[in-house]
Structure 1
């Protein structure tokens, strides 16, 4: 059995993924972000078209279950734009959901994740989970246990929202040591928001992928440290563990509004990475690493 990336149009060989935005959102709706919903399909298509015009070939949407991900619309957007799309199952922090809704699904999360990864007209290719600020609360531990169970049943990679980039090693301890998920199937998100090079090196040495995602939000206090973080990892021999994503979570952050949006990765960041870190590092970050991170040997539960 060969490894494959599970896109919304079906499984593809990892070599077909191409230049990838490893963490972004085309659709998102949360009570924690009132009035900032990503719910405009034509705006999503415009973002994809601009990304594709710059050479982008794949986008991984990390919007999990229950947050307006509109998975049924992703195949059409993929066909119209020519961009591979990977959808997510999983669950975010508790604050993003109605408490009654969480109670309804809490006892059956692993089964829910497995069904969305393996059944239905649009299959997910990623499990999204989330930690809390500098800690893992009971909700995070419960969801991560279910994600680990779903990983063992299917092989799916697990993407982790680290709140402000914190608790990376706690997450790896829980997922990898307690629940025996191989570290190379774990993608740690938002690490440049906690720009501690020691933590970054330790996570890379453990074998996890490190996603530096969120420059499309603009004006984040740690954005200016992003290139420093990438340079330090590359210098330490960990360029093969780095991923980049836009993490566009509000309509205002899109390139068609006032934000740099998804295209900023290729129009703004890629030239700087090629110039300052070299074309080989840029190719690893945008092409080679996503192909490995999101390709797994899928299992039938």
Structure 2
């Protein structure tokens, strides 16, 4: 296998990483979980309008972290991206077991790495059916999840499959940290035991755990940190964002920081609910970062860091 020129894989094709522009590094256009009945993100028109609201403020790319089996609507993502003129990076992968019907987990458990690689290189499965047809749109990252203050058997199995997919394709691995915990357990497994380079790992939700030593240690290890911005589902932790962000910048880790809105329900959208939705990243957070930390830090977080985090030197025969 040989490595090619680094590119970012969007649902409409591959781009040079510097074409991603201003990036919302962690969000959801479509999402559904059995843990959130009645709160599905499944409205294509609303997804387009939310993306357009983000684009009007200068937003160019949204990274959707909805993995396999959670209503990510791969058949609609290309249409939404094209209609809004916003790049969309989609995810394959697997969330925590509680989000899935047991019968679906049983169907994919023994072929996770194969499933991930196929969705990264060939196309994502329509309607999240592992045995059904695929769409041409390909995933550009693998999203998996840790457990609360540790890694259970399901998490270890999914993380191991993600590592296999990374070694086969070079793709970055994005990790949901439950309550912001177990970040160092994730890095121990992926990087120390499974040989994934730390800069290919993106850790999410670190502002949800108040110990400042954890994000600093994760950054020192070399991982990217995807901090939540206006996440309505976890708004009680929003006040920590600037404390964590400032500490990381002052420690020299600005080029490893990413920001995302993590919109998981229609009520959190700017166009269908009470917001603040995707636009808040650029109407409120970016101006504040520019005022408090400087314009160059804002550019690093919203443009330079995503270009590095989501670039892949895709392997080819």
**TM-score, length-scaled by structure 1:** 0.98
Tell me by how many angstroms 1:286 deviates.
0.2
Q: CA RMSD in A?
A: 1.0
Where do 5+ consecutive residues of structure 1 fail to align? none
* Structure-2 residue corresponding to 1:72: 75
Q: Does residue 145 of structure 1 match 2:148? A: no
Q: Does residue 206 of structure 1 match 2:221? A: yes
* Structure-2 residue corresponding to 1:61: 64
Q: How many residues align?
A: 301
Q: Does residue 176 of structure 1 match 2:191? A: yes
**8 Å contact kept, 1:216–1:264:** no
* Structure-1 residue corresponding to 2:127: none
Q: Does residue 185 of structure 1 match 2:188? A: no
Distance between the aligned counterparts of 2:210 and 2:74, measured in 1? 33
Distance between the aligned counterparts of 2:233 and 2:247, measured in 1? 22
Tell me by how many angstroms 1:195 deviates.
2.9
Pick the aligned partner of 1:97 from 92, 97, 100: 100
Q: Find runs of 4+ consecutive structure 1 residues off by over 3 angstroms.
A: none
* Structure-2 residue corresponding to 1:111: 114
**8 Å contact kept, 2:228–2:238:** no
Pick the aligned partner of 1:42 from 45, 51, 59: 45
* Structure-2 residue corresponding to 1:244: 259
**8 Å contact kept, 2:7–2:15:** yes
Q: Does residue 166 of structure 1 match 2:169? A: no
**8 Å contact kept, 1:218–1:260:** no
**8 Å contact kept, 1:23–1:61:** yes
Tell me by how many angstroms 1:46 deviates.
0.7
Distance between the aligned counterparts of 2:224 and 2:201, measured in 1? 6
**8 Å contact kept, 1:216–1:259:** no
* Structure-1 residue corresponding to 2:287: 271
**8 Å contact kept, 2:90–2:140:** yes
Tell me by how many angstroms 1:214 deviates.
4.7
Distance between the aligned counterparts of 1:281 and 1:214, measured in 2? 16
**TM-score, length-scaled by structure 2:** 0.93
SS in 2 for 1:215: coil
* Structure-2 residue corresponding to 1:299: 315
**8 Å contact kept, 2:119–2:138:** yes
Q: Deviations over 1:59-103 (max 9, x none)?
A: 000000011100111111111111000000000000000001101
SS in 1 for 2:110: helix
Tell me by how many angstroms 1:196 deviates.
2.1
Tell me by how many angstroms 1:300 deviates.
3.3
SS in 2 for 1:188: strand
| Structure 2 CA distance for partners of 1:259 and 1:131, relative to 1, 3 Å | same
Tell me by how many angstroms 1:219 deviates.
5.9
**8 Å contact kept, 2:231–2:238:** no
Distance between the aligned counterparts of 2:41 and 2:13, measured in 1? 24
Distance between the aligned counterparts of 1:33 and 1:300, measured in 2? 39
Q: Does residue 12 of structure 1 match 2:39? A: no
SS in 2 for 1:220: helix
* Structure-1 residue corresponding to 2:33: 30
Distance between the aligned counterparts of 1:244 and 1:105, measured in 2? 31
* Structure-2 residue corresponding to 1:3: 6
